[in-house]
């Protein structure tokens, strides 16, 4: 089974350092076994399919350069490639054009220009593209917008202007857009909101203001959403018609109990994270209306024993996070008595487990 792009991207966003100085052998014709041998020596992780063909390569903490990437040009069965390589340029990306089976590509800290991005249109099966720690001009965004097969697109720690995001509109199959720690502002989210087919959006740790977040009301097909610290009760109100929402993260935001009354109308919610917000016991009462809720994270909030009555009614919960709250071990045990299968995470800030 092929990994989802979300799992594929986890761990890639923190670009690791320490380029290996080993000399690599680059040949015009190398079988997969020889390629794998060189990559393992270099420190990369490889996976093969049942026929012995390389299907996945992850360079982990090895920062690859163009020579290493060119070694892969004959691994024509390759489907997944992660390259956190600050030395990769257009020359290396051009060599990937022979990888016609490639479906997931993650590149970090590169020096790719529009020429490199333009060459990616040869990758007809590419579904997921992750770019980290890279400057991307508008022409490069235009080239990305022509990779029509993309369903997942992620930019983290990248440099680009808001208007460049207009180019994303041409990606009609795009379902997931990940903009964590990107420079997107209010004009950028307006551009994103025109991609009305989006099902998953991450805009945490961005510069979008509370006013800009009102544009989210246009994304009525969203299933998964992670918001920045600027989210307020007005933001929650803008989400009220996104009734298909299943996974919502509002950590570190400015929401209050008023938002929880609004969110109670999102009957399909399965996962809700409200860590480090100003919600109280009174607000938790509203969440008892969410009969599909399975994951609830309330770390570092003002919960007390008064919240137990509401939490006990939520017998459908499979996970509850209450780290750094006033709830005691004995109180949580009473919660387990009515929901024996629930996993409760409760760790004091001093690091001791309850």
Cα separation, 305 vs 27, in Å, equals 67
> Burial, 142: exposed, middle or buried (Cβ in 10 Å; 0-12, 13-18, 19+)?
middle
Mean pLDDT for the stretch of residues 226-239 = 96
Q: What is the rounded CA–CA span in Å between residue 274 and residue 61?
A: 33
Q: Is 43 left (phi over 0), alpha (psi -120 to 50) or beta?
A: left
- How would residue 268 be classed by pLDDT, with cut points 50, 70 and 90? very high
How far, in Å, CA of 237 to CA of 258, rounded?
9
Query: What are the phi and psi torsion angles at 24 (to 5°)?
Result: -105, 145
pLDDT, mean over the chain: 88
Candidates 3.80.10.10, 3.40.50.10800, 3.90.1150.10, 3.20.20.10; correct CATH number of 243-354? 3.80.10.10
pLDDT, tens digit (0-9, with 9 covering 90-100), for 164-222 = 999 999 999 999 999 999 999 999 999 999 999 999 999 999 999 999 999 999 999 99
**Which one has a higher pLDDT value, 249 or 12?**
249
Residue 285 has pLDDT above 90, yes or no: yes
Percent of the chain with pLDDT over 90: 74
Higher pLDDT, 183 or 32: 183
pLDDT band for position 1 (cuts 50, 70, 90): very low
pLDDT at residue 352 greater than cutoff 90: no
pLDDT > 70? residue 233: yes
Instruction: Give the tens place of pLDDT for each residue, 67-109.
Output: 888 888 888 899 999 987 667 899 999 999 999 999 999 998 8
Can you list the positions of beta strands (E) in the chain? 45-48, 54-58, 80-83, 104-108, 128-132, 152-156, 176-178, 200-202, 224-226, 247-249, 271-273, 295-297, 319-321, 343-345
Q: Does residue 12 carry a pLDDT above 60?
A: no
> Rounded distance, CA 252 to CA 272, Å?
13
Tokens read off for 144 = 């990305």
Of 47-56, 169-178, 332-341, minimum mean pLDDT range: 47-56
97-145 tens-digit pLDDT? 999 999 999 998 888 999 999 999 999 999 999 999 999 999 999 999 9
346 CB contacts (<8 Å, ≥6 apart)?
Answer: 322, 323, 325, 327, 329, 332, 353, 354
Strand 319-321 to 45-48 pairing: unpaired
- Separation of alpha carbons 18 and 117, rounded Å: 25
For 144-148, 208-212, 350-354, which range has the lowest pLDDT when averaged over its residues? 350-354
Strand, coil or helix: 135: strand
Block residue for tokens 């109670």: 264
């Amino acid at each position: 089974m092929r990994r989802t792009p979300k799992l594929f991207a986890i761990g890639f966003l923190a670009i690791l350092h320490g380029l290996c100085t080993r000399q690599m052998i680059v040949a015009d014709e190398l079988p997969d076994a020889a390629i794998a041998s060189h990559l393992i020596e270099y420190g990369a992780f490889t996976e093969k399919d049942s026929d012995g063909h390389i299907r996945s390569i992850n360079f982990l903490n090895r920062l690859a350069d163009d020579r290493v990437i060119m070694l892969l040009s004959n691994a024509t069965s390759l489907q997944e490639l992660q390259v956190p390589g600050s030395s990769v340029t257009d020359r290396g990306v051009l060599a990937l054009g022979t990888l016609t089976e490639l479906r997931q590509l993650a590149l970090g800290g590169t020096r790719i220009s529009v020429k490199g991005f333009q060459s990616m249109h040869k990758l007809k099966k590419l579904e997921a593209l992750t770019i980290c720690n890279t400057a991307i001009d508008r022409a490069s965004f235009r080239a990305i917008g022509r990779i029509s097969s993309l369903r997942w697109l992620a930019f983290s720690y990248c440099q680009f202007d808001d208007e460049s995001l207009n180019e994303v509109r041409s990606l009609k199959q795009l379902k997931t857009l990940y903009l964590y720690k990107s420079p997107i502002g209010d004009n950028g989210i307006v551009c994103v909101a025109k991609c009305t087919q989006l099902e998953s959006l991450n805009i945490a740790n961005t510069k979008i203001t509370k006013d800009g977040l009102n544009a989210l009301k246009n994304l009525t097909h969203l299933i998964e959403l992670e918001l920045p610290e600027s989210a307020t009760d007005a933001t929650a109100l803008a989400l009220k018609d996104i009734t298909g929402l299943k996974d919502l993260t509002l950590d570190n935001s400015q929401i209050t109990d008023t938002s929880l009354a609004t969110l109670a109308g999102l009957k399909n919610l399965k996962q809700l994270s409200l860590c480090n917000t100003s919600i109280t016991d009174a607000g938790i009462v509203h969440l008892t209306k969410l009969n599909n809720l399975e994951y609830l994270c309330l770390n570092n909030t003002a919960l007390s024993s008064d919240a137990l009555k509401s939490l006990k009614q939520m017998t459908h919960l499979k996970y509850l996070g209450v780290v750094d709250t006033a709830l005691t071990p004995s109180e949580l045990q009473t919660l387990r008595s009515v929901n024996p299968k629930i996993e409760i995470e409760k760790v004091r800030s001093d690091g001791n487990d309850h």
